[in-house]
Amino acid sequence: MDDREILTWHTYGTAVRELAQSVADSGFAPDIVLGIARGGLIPAGSVAYALDCKNLFTMNVEFYTGVGTTRDEPTLLPPFLDLAELNDLSVLVVDDVADSGKTLELVARVCSEHAGEVRSAVIYEKPRTILAPDYAWRRTDKWINFPWSSEPVITSRTGVLDA
């Protein structure tokens, strides 16, 4: 049996459309889409376009150091968002996956201190997550290969290092 969930670029296109559809169907029209960097940036951009939301924010959180290995707790990294910008607005926090859910919980908690309403959307939800996202496209307990992070890093073919 496959021990990984593989998301291709092609299936990703369907996933984000269906995820955005479930947000729209619920009647939630966010003022702001906030992507958690880096994994949530690509889905956040896609969902923002799909929902015709022009306010796209980001927060940078670091937690995972490798496949299944983490720091003790997720940490917000600079540049820091001016949270006053969220005042009383509705925010859709988007990430690629809620695994432990600690990253999503941290961002949702920080935002909810300032925003009017905060909801969360992920492509994948894992069973152990401490925060059930409001919207999830699929559920899995496997390690997921996302199309943006499963190919080799591109380096120069010319052999020239720094120009």
Tell me which residues touch ligand 5GP (CB under 6 A).
Answer: 39, 63-64, 74, 95-104, 143-144, 146, 149
Nearer to ligand 5GP, 24 or 73 (CB): 73
Residue type, 139: R
Closest approach of ligand 5GP to the CB of residue 61, in Å? 7
Return the HEC string of 111-136.
HHCCECEEEEEEEEECCCCCCCCCEE
Q: Which is nearer to ligand 5GP, 69 or 155 (CB)?
A: 69
CB of 50 to ligand 5GP, least distance (A): 20
Q: How far is the CB of 13 from ligand 5GP (least distance, A)?
A: 18
Minimum distance from CB of 38 to ligand 5GP (Å)? 7
Please give the Cα distance from 153 to 155 (Å, whole number).
Answer: 6
| Between 57 and 63, CB nearer to ligand 5GP | 63
Which amino acid is residue 89, in one-letter code? L
> Looking at beta carbons only, is 54 or 128 nearer to ligand 5GP?
128
With contact defined as beta carbons under 8 Å apart, do 103 and 61 qualify? yes
Which DSSP helix (H) or strand (E) runs through 23? helix 9-25
Q: 116 or 143, CB closer to ligand 5GP?
A: 143
Residues ≥6 apart with Cβ < 8 Å to 137: 15, 16, 18, 19, 22, 122, 123, 124
Shortest distance, position 83 Cβ to ligand 5GP, whole Å: 20
